[in-house]
Amino acid sequence: MTKGPLDGVRILDFTWAWAGPYGTLLLAMLGAEVIKVESRRRLDHTRLRSLMAGPTLTSPDHAVVFNDLNIGKLGLALNLSQPKAVEIAKRVARISDVVTQNMRPGVMDRLGLGYDDFKAVKPDIIMLSSSAVGATGPERTYSGYAPTFAALGGHSYISGNPEGHPLPISGAVDLRVGTTSAFAILAALYYRARTGKGQHIDLSSTEAVSALIGHVFMDYSMNSRVQARAGNRDQIMAPHSCYRCLGKYKWVAIAVASEEEWDALRNVVGDSRLADERFADAHSRWQNQEDLDQIIGEWTSSRSQEEVAQALQKVGVAATPVLDGPALSRDAQIHARGILKRVQHPAIGERLTLGPPWSFSRTPARADRPAPLLGQHNQYVLGELLGMSNEEIEKLIAEEVVY
Amino acid sequence: MAETALDGVKVLEYCQMISGPYCGKLLADLGAEVIKVEEPQLGDGARRRGPFLDDVPHPEKSGLFLYLNTNKLGITLNLRTTSGRHIFQRLAEQADILIEDRPPGEMAKLGLDYDSLSAVNPGLIFTSITPYGQTGPYRDYKSYHLNLYHATGLSSFVYVPRQAEPDSPPVVAGGQVGDYDGGLTAAVAALAALWVRLTTGEGQYIDISKFEALLAMERVEICRFANQPDAPPWKGMVGGLVPCQDGHVVVTPAQNHQWQALMKLMGNPAWAQEEDCRDEFARAQHRDEIQQRLEEWMAQHPKEEIYSEGQRVGLPVGPVRTVAEIANWQQARQRGFFAPLDHPQAGRLEYPSAAYKMSETPWRGERAAPLLGEHNEQVYCCRLGYSREELARMAAAGII
């Protein structure tokens, strides 16, 4: 079997919810061995509920959201309220490269599992701590979830229709934070390979949101401007919107950036009104975009999404169907690229999961193993990696240290 | 001076606008030497897109370009000339990572595709970033941010209920975030490939599809619908985005103790003792009534008070903030999230830095974005050994 890029890297993972586990999921897809620590006493709450799918009504091992966010990891059940469990965690850290956690700042330190504790047993350990607003500063103990990060980080305010509410951006925010974490960890791994030094990474989820809309901050920095919500409109391009198509709630997104694209669009639509002076150049089109949208909308409304998109793409105009979940499951590009993978899960059964977001020519990333059942790999970690006897492990289970 | 995480890593960037340049910036900000190749005279398209300093369009004063190109070296090079292509190949011979964002097939036409360049530099990590990737029926489709955001379903996934707008189209998120997503995703791949290369010495080709990078950001929803295309909508928890006295707040009482915190914040109202509020199942069933009570209370309180008082009692809550409020936020200021950089034309400005504070290898706040061709002499003369006379001749010939 071909090895993934991070083959041989071991990660001890204390994260839960969405953002933290997604960061280590990316590293697991890249081939790292990720050992996820949970316990019956403190389950990752995606085993119990999610904002999107509601409470899980069967067992924690049946939770599909948990599965989708923890593909390919190993499960170790440790009850960290027990000192013995803390000692075991440190023993695993001693043979690991990276530790990750996203509890409220201070919690891991109180458990005896802070960066200094890990560094004492593994001097070159890399530890990533991810939190709502960072591990320093006056608000460091504050908590949050994806939609509060989007609100605090400035993304909600600029998203939505001008006359409506800001958008409560949610799931994607956590996954952006997770991707940012994976990047920082990889940079620290490279640095360690070159210098032998580990380090601590303090990641603010709210700052991760702000960094991904950086130029909006530049407008404030340069011009003291607070950009407003603009719906589907662009600051320069027009047409730049969603247009109604045949069918219920069917839309097509069309964006035009150049004169060449405009001429191509005009030819396909074939409406003489588009030759008006009102639309003669990019600036006029932007000024008169309500009229422009009206005319284009008349043309699209009697056609299917696919018909409009194909006719315009053929002449080099950016037009795409606006899709939702059900429509995406039939998307031709998704099928042709084979990015949905089948995974066999012992409790859930066969499930389609989204593959890695990169294609490597030499060291492919993978998503072919399910998420772990709670404590599924206790034996491997405690027995094989730490060399404990079966009696020792049985005793730890009886004492609810391994729990 | 502190060491940087990616000290010694050499990156060649042939990209414009947001995705590719953001990938290059992430690497440059952690210490990689990123040489950005731009078209002579014109430069990166981001130079012609605002926001501009004082709203005066100027290629050196675009906030978009300035933000996305910090800590890079900038050279001009015309790849439509034979000499230009030859020079590009020499630069690629010396690079660890190449990032390019041309439409599929275009680098091959220039004789600068992975096969050609890996023949002269087997260790090269060749990263291509395109809207749909190098294969598949949409590979040649043109797509801007608006298109990709809507085509990936991202505009349809609204987890936290808001006021219904049944007959208006879905809305793209602000700030072209999906283009940044493509760059961030590519940067993760480039570093993973760099890690492998430490042990094997071998480079490889990386195909990044922005479409797939965006899909990845809604992984949970994509998986849900892939397995159950007719998945029913979840009515949602109480809270979410709520209007308040002077704006909006987002309240997320996802767990029971957080619901208790919300009730504490609201002064433990009598209705909270009723059966309807017993547990999350009951609350979900009676969401509309409870939500209305919540909104009535929030309408009488300002967002910053709800934030600080709510957090004090353990409620995950955040005010919807403007960039101005964030730029003046004590938390961000004390963490040094905004870094001042001097630029010869745009002057001294504050830039968002990075979300990660690395204890050994800080974010590099060394250099603002390069002027167009600013480092031609440094790269062409010092690195490749051209004389200044040759440089002048190449400039006259439209090569650089």
Assign residue A362 the CATH number of its domain.
Answer: 3.40.50.10540
Task: Provide the residue-wise pLDDT of chain B in tens; the chain has 400 residues.
Answer: 579 999 999 999 999 999 999 999 999 999 999 999 999 999 999 999 999 999 999 999 999 999 999 999 999 999 999 999 999 999 999 999 999 999 999 999 999 999 999 999 999 999 999 999 999 999 999 999 999 999 999 998 875 544 455 678 899 999 999 999 999 999 999 999 999 999 999 999 999 999 999 999 999 999 999 999 888 776 667 899 999 999 999 999 988 899 999 999 999 999 999 998 988 888 888 988 999 999 999 999 999 999 999 999 999 999 999 999 999 999 999 999 999 999 999 999 999 999 999 999 999 988 999 999 999 999 999 999 999 999 999 999 999 9
Count residue pairs from A and B with Cβ separation < 8 A. 514
The answer to the question of residue B364 being in a domain is: yes
Q: Are residues A349 and A322 in the same domain?
A: no
| Domains identified in chain A, total number | 2
Q: Are residues A196 and A249 in the same domain?
A: no
**First CA to last CA across chain B, in angstroms?**
34
Q: Are residues A264 and A392 in the same domain?
A: no
Assign residue B244 the CATH number of its domain.
Answer: 3.30.1540.10
Q: Are residues B287 and B376 in the same domain?
A: no
Which residue from B173, B185, B176, B174 is spatially nearest to B210, judged by alpha carbons?
B185
Q: Are residues B102 and B19 in the same domain?
A: yes
- Among the candidates A304, A326, A348, a domain finishes at A326
Enter the ipTM.
0.98
**Which residues of chain A, if any, have pLDDT below 70?**
1, 50-57
> For the stretch B347-364, what's the b/e string if a residue is b when 16 or more beta carbons lie within 10 angstroms of its beta carbon?
eebbbbbbbbbbebbbbb
Catalytic residue among A116, A174, A219, A291: A174
Domain of A269 in residue numbering reads as 240-326
Test A218 with B227 for CB contact under 8 angstroms.
no
- Please tell me which of the candidates A52, A176, A201 has its beta carbon nearest to residue B356: A201
Domain of B380 in residue numbering reads as 10-219+335-396
Question: Which residues in A lie closer than 8 A to residue B171 (C-beta atoms)?
Answer: 159-161, 167, 231-232
Assign residue B185 the CATH number of its domain.
Answer: 3.40.50.10540
Question: Which residues in A lie closer than 8 A to residue B338 (C-beta atoms)?
Answer: 217, 221
Instruction: Examine the residue annotation and report whether A368 is marked as an active-site residue of this protein.
Output: no
Which residue from B129, B13, B130 is spatially nearest to B71, judged by alpha carbons?
B13
What global pTM score does this model have? 0.98
Annotated active-site positions of B, please? Answer: 179
B209: β partners: B130
Q: Are residues A195 and A286 in the same domain?
A: no
pLDDT of residue B163: 45
CB contact B189 to A (< 8 Å): yes
- Among the candidates B262, B296, B322, a domain finishes at B322
Test B55 with A329 for CB contact under 8 angstroms.
no
Question: Which residues in B lie closer than 8 A to residue A334 (C-beta atoms)?
Answer: 215
Interface test with A, best of B177, B184, B200, B257 (most A CBs within 10 A): B177
Please confirm whether the linkage preceding A239 is cis (ω < 30° from 0).
Answer: yes
Q: Are residues A353 and A316 in the same domain?
A: no
Q: Are residues A165 and A41 in the same domain?
A: yes
Q: Are residues B44 and B110 in the same domain?
A: yes
pLDDT of residue B158: 76
Question: Which residues in A lie closer than 8 A to residue B364 (C-beta atoms)?
Answer: none
CB B36 within 8 A of CB B69: yes
Question: Which residues in A lie closer than 8 A to residue B221 (C-beta atoms)?
Answer: 52, 171, 325
Condensed to tens digits (0 to 9), the pLDDT of residues B20-62 reads 999 999 999 999 999 999 999 999 999 999 999 999 999 999 9
Q: Are residues A145 and A57 in the same domain?
A: yes
CB A380 within 8 A of CB A74: yes
Q: Are residues B364 and B274 in the same domain?
A: no
Helical residues (DSSP H) of B201-319, grouped into ranges: 210-217, 219-227, 256-265, 280-285, 287-298, 303-312
Condensed to tens digits (0 to 9), the pLDDT of residues B292-341 reads 999 999 999 999 999 999 999 999 999 999 999 999 999 999 999 999 99
Residue of A nearest to B237 (CA): A51
Question: Which sign does the torsion angle of CA A146, A150, A152, A153 carry?
Answer: positive
Q: Are residues B315 and B345 in the same domain?
A: no
The answer to the question of residue A182 being in a domain is: yes
Chain B nearest CA to A380, separation (Å): 26
Judged by DSSP in three states, A32 sits in coil
- Among the candidates B288, B322, B356, a domain finishes at B322
DSSP code per residue over B147-168: HHHHHTTGGG---S-----TTS
| Domains identified in chain B, total number | 2
Interface test with B, best of A98, A145, A218, A261 (most B CBs within 10 A): A218
Q: Are residues B18 and B97 in the same domain?
A: yes
Q: Are residues A145 and A291 in the same domain?
A: no
